Amino acid sequence: MNKVLIINAHQRYEGFAEGVLNQTFVDVAKEVFEAKGCEVKLTYIEKGYEPADEISF
């Protein structure tokens, strides 16, 4: 099985850049890859992440 790591690096700015477009791209990409049988992992930079977890995926 192929694995896909999607990183949403958007930084939210209240009232100016909410991140809706980036989230839409992430949602569509996830849907497309899953439809092709890929295992998908999502990472949101603003929520924190652990590089070792990204590498081991």
pTM here?
A: 0.81
Please state the domain extents for the chain.
3-47
* Rounded Cα–Cα distance for residues 45 and 10 (Å): 7
* Three-class secondary structure assignment of 2-49: CEEEEEECCCCECCCECCHHHHHHHHHHHHHHHHCCCEEEEEEHHHCC
Rounded mean pLDDT of 20-32? 95
pLDDT digits (tens, 9 = 90+) for 29-54: 999 999 999 999 999 999 998 889 88
